[in-house]
Chains A and B, each alone.
Chain A
Amino acid sequence: MELFRGINVDWLGKKWYFLGFSLIFSIAGILSMLFWHGIPLGVDFTGGTKVYVKFEQAPDSGRITQALDKAGLHDAPIQSFGPPANHEVIVSLPQSQTSESQLDAGRAKIVAALETNYVGAAAAAGKLDLDNASRGQITDLLTPSAGAQAAQQAAVAVANYRDTQKSGLLGSVDELSAVTTPANVATLKQGSYLSGFTIRNVEIVGPQVGSQLKKQAFLATIYSLAGMLVYLWFRFELIYGVAAVVAVFHDTLITIGAFSLTNREISLTVVAAVLTLVGYSMNDTIVVFDRIRENLRTRRREGLSAVVNRSINQTMSRTILTSGLTFLTVLSLFLFGGEVLHNFSFALVVGILIGTYSSIAVAAPMLVAYQDWRAARGKTASLPAGKRARV
């Protein structure tokens, strides 16, 4: 099977469409960053507390707000996380309520508020919340009837069953008869209750770390762009490097713009994805540049525009295939990889599409534009063909 063979498209003739397309998306992103959603930075960068709570039944965010309000946690935003069937919400406490000396006070308060006010004090009276109990607590509960060693083994079995088979939430205490003795089940039934919610994940970031991470993420992005520039300068010529870095910057801008437009949070892993894209979308650009240089040498008569067009067309098949295949894997990550990786894979999905587009529509035309600009100023028109000859 073979696709994209012998295509002959005048890519440079369409440069105004490309420019328009790039401008629309960049400007939409920039406008959204400036006036609409801003840059939606995650808790990694802003600091604050985030507690991910998964419920057995569909959670009622109004009641959760009330429960938290009663415990003195006012205006804590509640957001649902993942598809509604997951029954998972994020309770956030802003930076102002995350004090550096008492980092996890917020988490403890949220759990207590939910246990007493959301589930109801009646159920909680003096009993162990089996959905949130630690192994130590379960062991303590079972020890009087079962003895220390057996209790410990049973606690490990119960906790493992709850966490690995049931995603942290038991449907009923009776289910546990599959992993422990009837006597233990009876003891648990008597001494514990199921609150119907469990803490899946806690992120608490103090203000100092937040600003530190912000600085690091910024520096890392700058360093990798600079690294690319230097490498392309070394392998080709400075102008190739500049064109490639402009293209990659364009990709980064549009990817972050997409986060702003869809109001998705930018976390540390998203920055990691963006940095990976910087390297990856450079690949396509290099392949096209390589061909341009090769063709410049063998076809000295043709104008630069014709050479660039020819080079893009020759590498088209390869560019579409490799990006398409990487896109396939990233798409499976986006679809099946779970909530935690959702934003990370979103960045990759957007970035790979844009990165492929930009190596054709931004980087290569820039070389031609640079040459035209030099010609207009009366300088030599030929683009340097590079330092080393390739066979």
Chain B
Amino acid sequence: MRKNLGGKTALIVVLLLIFVYGIFGTPAGVNLKSLGASMINPSAGRSGIHLGLDLRGGTHLILQVMVDEAVSAATDSDVGRLDTALKQAGVTGAVVSKPDPTKPEIVRVTGVPTDKTGQVRDLLNTRFANAGYDVSSGDNGFTVTMQASQAKAIRDRAVQQAIETIRDRVDRLGVSEPVIQEYGLGANQILVELPGIDDPARVKDIIQSTARLEIHQVIGGPYPDDATAMQALTTVPADAMLMHGSAEPAAPGEAPVDQVFELKRIPEVAGNDFRDAQPAQDENGRPQVSFQLTNAAGDRFYQFTSTNVGNRLGVVLDGQVREVANIQQAIRDSGRITGLDKQKATDLSMMLRTGALPASIHFLEERTVGPSLGADSIRQGVYAAVAGMLAVMAFMLIYYRGAGINADLALFLNLVILLGFMGFTGSTLTLPGIAGVILTIGMGVDSNVLIFERIREELHAGKAAAAAVDQGFAHAWLTIIDTHVTTMVSAAILFLFGTGPVRGFAVTLIFGLFANLFTAVFVSRVIFDAILRRKPAGAVLSI
């Protein structure tokens, strides 16, 4: 073991330098302020330690993506496709509908004339049975059910799309280092962390807005409210729906009047049909958003409008009717949304450009830490860490004298490696993470104490210094592994289950334990060996 001491010392020094670089990089100057700055504001090309939301202030959100809406949108378009296909095949009288709004994956075909049943079955089998649907025939029609795997694929895609869209929007807002990722275990939730956000309300609006723009045919209304609408219609047909909104943009200073319209359920233009959107002004200088359709959608829309001159169209944004207009002539590819203020027009056109969310979003959780609390937390956390570390170091010096210096050196190196590790991996330091650092200091000396106590026992048993050190390390080794494994298991479970601050705690704990294995066992040993080598054989060890 005593061989190659020089090589081991060199290894320790090199590691020390590497990890110091990991913490600070190349600071602007060697004083407390610039060192601190380079530690938490890493320069380009170096990941560095990131401060968690609880230390720098910011907003943490958990969102639920209402994925069933995406499934519903998919079957909506199936209904449309099926309707057209049946008409083309000359089947009249058949009604394609979705009977149960809570089960969006089921489409029913009813009212098929008996002589056409075989033809419809063939059509359904060729079109749907091989494309992720189950087709079954019942007493009075057919049921087309989306297969679970297909529905799951759509749900998963909806979450991924929502993440992409939100990231796009947040990036355009200029938030630095946002975290946007899937959260939970398949519950279709998204975690969003926005550090340094000053104005959470607006950001939340922008994230939440689905920006789902659709154009529907208006077939009834306006009615002043739901009750009147139901009175006038008695029942809403399966292919129609009621929707609130205001037809006319409100005059300046007046609230828009809420009305109820009866719309075709299936939109004429939706989702990916939009090509571009810009904020603009209408003829009276009021802000508006004008949008363009893609070529294919434009052709379809042209077809529809040219056969429906005189009918009405509604522009629907996020489940609200925003514009209702008569079709005066065939329209190809542009439209507008009015009745917005300037900020809203800018935000909305940005959202339309970044694309619609595939489904609407609910907020499940929000935590906002004000910047002043973050600053106080850092101060107190660092204060507690320094106090705890000094107390431990002082105790080790008093209790183990010479060997105490050894333990304190190992402890210090432990801290450097822990922080350097975090710097290199770009880990996030949270307030519980600082607590984890403090705890690592306390637990770090555990291994030293285990070894030192064992060495003392061996010395009391009459062994020579060198042999006692040898035996002490050998005996303590397995116990040290045991204690590290148990704490590591706890920390790993915390890492798997936790988010945000708790995960930061787990990260520092895990890194700290690894660093401790190295410092307490390897570094301490090298220091002991170096001391023993200088002493004449048989000298007393200060422990």
Kindly list chain A residues whose C-beta atoms are within 8 Å of the C-beta of B487: 276, 279-280, 282-283
Give chain B's interface secondary structure class.
helix
B485 interfacial by beta-carbon distance below 8 Å: yes
A250 interfacial by beta-carbon distance below 8 Å: no
What would 19 more interface pairs be, CB under 8 Å, given A198-B372, A276-B490, A317-B453? A1-B399, A54-B372, A134-B198, A159-B371, A199-B370, A200-B373, A204-B366, A216-B497, A235-B482, A272-B498, A275-B493, A280-B490, A290-B479, A325-B395, A331-B388, A336-B380, A337-B380, A337-B383, A338-B376
A318 interfacial by beta-carbon distance below 8 Å: yes
Query: Within the complex, what minimum Cβ distance (angstroms) separates B353 from chain A?
Result: 23
Query: Within the complex, what minimum Cβ distance (angstroms) separates A348 from chain B?
Result: 7
Kindly list chain A residues whose C-beta atoms are within 8 Å of the C-beta of B380: 336-338, 341
Query: Within the complex, what minimum Cβ distance (angstroms) separates A349 from chain B?
Result: 12
Q: List 16 A-B contacts (CB under 8 A).
A: A103-B366, A202-B369, A203-B367, A209-B365, A279-B486, A283-B487, A287-B479, A328-B388, A329-B439, A330-B388, A331-B388, A333-B388, A333-B438, A337-B381, A337-B384, A340-B377
Once bound together, how far apart are the Cα atoms of A135 and B198, in whole Å?
Answer: 7
Kindly list chain B residues whose C-beta atoms are within 8 Å of the C-beta of A159: 198, 371
Within A203-237, which residues are at the interface with B (CB < 8 Å)? Answer: 203-206, 208-209, 212, 216-217, 219-220, 223-224, 227-228, 231, 235
Find out whether the CB atom of B365 lies under 8 angstroms from the CB atom of A168: no
Chain A, 51-70, contact with B by CB distance < 8 Å: what is the 0/1 string? Answer: 01010000000000000000
A172 interfacial by beta-carbon distance below 8 Å: no
Find out whether the CB atom of A209 lies under 8 angstroms from the CB atom of B442: no
Find out whether the CB atom of B392 lies under 8 angstroms from the CB atom of A163: no
Once bound together, how far apart are the Cα atoms of A139 and B400, in whole Å?
Answer: 59
Once bound together, how far apart are the Cα atoms of A298 and B170, in whole Å?
Answer: 67
B502 interfacial by beta-carbon distance below 8 Å: yes
A380 interfacial by beta-carbon distance below 8 Å: no
A80 interfacial by beta-carbon distance below 8 Å: no
Find out whether the CB atom of A167 lies under 8 angstroms from the CB atom of B497: no
Chain A, 251-290, contact with B by CB distance < 8 Å: what is the 0/1 string? Answer: 0000000000000000011011001101110110011001
Decide yes or no: A134 and B373 within 8 Å by CB, A272-B494, A325-B442, A337-B380 being known contacts.
Answer: no
Question: Which of A108, A228, A330 meets B489, CB within 8 Å?
Answer: A228
Decide yes or no: A209 and B62 within 8 Å by CB, A103-B366, A168-B372, A200-B370 being known contacts.
Answer: yes
Question: Which of A1, A314, A332 meets B438, CB within 8 Å?
Answer: A332
Kindly list chain B residues whose C-beta atoms are within 8 Å of the C-beta of A330: 388, 438-439, 442
Query: Within the complex, what minimum Cβ distance (angstroms) separates A296 from chain B?
Result: 16
Chain A, 129-148, contact with B by CB distance < 8 Å: what is the 0/1 string? Answer: 00000111000000000000
Once bound together, how far apart are the Cα atoms of A317 and B478, in whole Å?
Answer: 19
Kindly list chain A residues whose C-beta atoms are within 8 Å of the C-beta of B498: 220, 268, 272
Find out whether the CB atom of B384 lies under 8 angstroms from the CB atom of A336: yes
Find out whether the CB atom of B486 lies under 8 angstroms from the CB atom of A282: yes
Find out whether the CB atom of B486 lies under 8 angstroms from the CB atom of A167: no
Question: Which of B363, B400, B491, B505 meets A206, CB within 8 Å?
Answer: B363
Kindly list chain A residues whose C-beta atoms are within 8 Å of the C-beta of B493: 220, 223-224, 227, 275
Decide yes or no: A390 and B478 within 8 Å by CB, A325-B392, A329-B441 being known contacts.
Answer: yes
Listed from nearest, the 6 A-B pairs whose CB atoms lie closest are A168-B372, A279-B490, A338-B380, A329-B442, A326-B442, A329-B388
* Most chain A beta-carbon contacts within 10 A, residue among B365, B367, B483: B365
Find out whether the CB atom of A341 lies under 8 angstroms from the CB atom of B371: no
Decide yes or no: A272 and B391 within 8 Å by CB, A159-B371, A336-B380 being known contacts.
Answer: no
Within B137-185, which residues are at the interface with A (CB < 8 Å)? Answer: 184
A177 interfacial by beta-carbon distance below 8 Å: no
A344 interfacial by beta-carbon distance below 8 Å: yes
Find out whether the CB atom of B494 lies under 8 angstroms from the CB atom of A276: yes
A34 interfacial by beta-carbon distance below 8 Å: no
Question: Which of A1, A101, A269 meets B432, CB within 8 Å?
Answer: A269
Within B494-514, which residues are at the interface with A (CB < 8 Å)? Answer: 494, 496-498, 501-502, 505-506, 509
Find out whether the CB atom of B200 lies under 8 angstroms from the CB atom of A104: yes
Query: Within the complex, what minimum Cβ distance (angstroms) separates B128 from chain A?
Result: 34
- Residues on A facing B (Cβ under 8 Å): 1-2, 52, 54, 100-101, 103-104, 107-108, 134-136, 159, 162-164, 166-169, 198-206, 208-209, 212, 216-217, 219-220, 223-224, 227-228, 231, 235, 268-269, 271-272, 275-276, 278-280, 282-283, 286-287, 290, 314, 317-318, 321-322, 325-333, 335-338, 340-341, 344-345, 348, 390-391
Query: Within the complex, what minimum Cβ distance (angstroms) separates A273 from chain B?
Result: 8
Once bound together, how far apart are the Cα atoms of A231 and B478, in whole Å?
Answer: 14
Find out whether the CB atom of A341 lies under 8 angstroms from the CB atom of B449: no
B435 interfacial by beta-carbon distance below 8 Å: yes
Query: Within the complex, what minimum Cβ distance (angstroms) separates A152 from chain B?
Result: 12
Find out whether the CB atom of A206 lies under 8 angstroms from the CB atom of B365: yes
Give chain A's interface secondary structure class.
helix
* Most chain B beta-carbon contacts within 10 A, residue among A163, A168, A314, A337: A337
B387 interfacial by beta-carbon distance below 8 Å: yes
Q: How many A-B contacts if CB must be within 8 Å?
A: 247
Kindly list chain A residues whose C-beta atoms are within 8 Å of the C-beta of B478: 290, 390
Once bound together, how far apart are the Cα atoms of A390 and B457, in whole Å?
Answer: 17
Kindly list chain A residues whose C-beta atoms are within 8 Å of the C-beta of B475: 391
Query: Within the complex, what minimum Cβ distance (angstroms) separates B140 from chain A?
Result: 39
Find out whether the CB atom of B486 lies under 8 angstroms from the CB atom of A202: no
Find out whether the CB atom of A280 lies under 8 angstroms from the CB atom of B443: yes
Once bound together, how far apart are the Cα atoms of A216 and B493, in whole Å?
Answer: 11
Query: Within the complex, what minimum Cβ distance (angstroms) separates A160 from chain B?
Result: 8
Once bound together, how far apart are the Cα atoms of A329 and B415, in whole Å?
Answer: 14
B456 interfacial by beta-carbon distance below 8 Å: yes
Within B348-366, which residues are at the interface with A (CB < 8 Å)? Answer: 362-366
Find out whether the CB atom of A162 lies under 8 angstroms from the CB atom of B372: yes
Kindly list chain B residues whose C-beta atoms are within 8 Å of the C-beta of A268: 498, 501-502
Kindly list chain A residues whose C-beta atoms are within 8 Å of the C-beta of B369: 200-202
Question: Which of B368, B399, B432 meets A344, CB within 8 Å?
Answer: B432
Find out whether the CB atom of A328 lies under 8 angstroms from the CB atom of B494: no
Once bound together, how far apart are the Cα atoms of A329 and B201, in whole Å?
Answer: 40
Query: Within the complex, what minimum Cβ distance (angstroms) separates B259 from chain A?
Result: 22
Q: Which A residue sits closest to B380, measured CB to CB?
A: A338
Q: Which B residue sits closest to A271, measured CB to CB?
A: B502
Kindly list chain B residues whose C-beta atoms are within 8 Å of the C-beta of A169: 372
Q: Which B residue sits closest to A317, measured CB to CB?
A: B453
Query: Within the complex, what minimum Cβ distance (angstroms) separates B57 from chain A?
Result: 7
Kindly list chain A residues whose C-beta atoms are within 8 Å of the C-beta of B385: 332
Once bound together, how far apart are the Cα atoms of A303 and B380, in whole Å?
Answer: 52
Find out whether the CB atom of A269 lies under 8 angstroms from the CB atom of B439: no
Once bound together, how far apart are the Cα atoms of A341 and B384, in whole Å?
Answer: 11
B330 interfacial by beta-carbon distance below 8 Å: no
Find out whether the CB atom of B486 lies under 8 angstroms from the CB atom of A325: no
Kindly list chain A residues whose C-beta atoms are within 8 Å of the C-beta of B187: 212
B127 interfacial by beta-carbon distance below 8 Å: no
Find out whether the CB atom of A204 lies under 8 angstroms from the CB atom of B490: no
Query: Within the complex, what minimum Cβ distance (angstroms) separates A331 from chain B?
Result: 8
Question: Which of A100, A329, A335, A348 meets B389, CB within 8 Å?
Answer: A329
Decide yes or no: A167 and B445 within 8 Å by CB, A104-B366, A344-B435 being known contacts.
Answer: no
B535 interfacial by beta-carbon distance below 8 Å: no
Find out whether the CB atom of B184 lies under 8 angstroms from the CB atom of A321: no
Query: Within the complex, what minimum Cβ distance (angstroms) separates A307 from chain B?
Result: 17
Decide yes or no: A328 and B392 within 8 Å by CB, A168-B372, A269-B502, A290-B482 being known contacts.
Answer: yes
Kindly list chain A residues whose C-beta atoms are within 8 Å of the C-beta of B482: 235, 283, 286-287, 290
Kindly list chain B residues whose C-beta atoms are within 8 Å of the C-beta of A329: 388-389, 391-392, 438-439, 441-442
Find out whether the CB atom of A336 lies under 8 angstroms from the CB atom of B387: yes
Kindly list chain A residues whose C-beta atoms are within 8 Å of the C-beta of B269: none
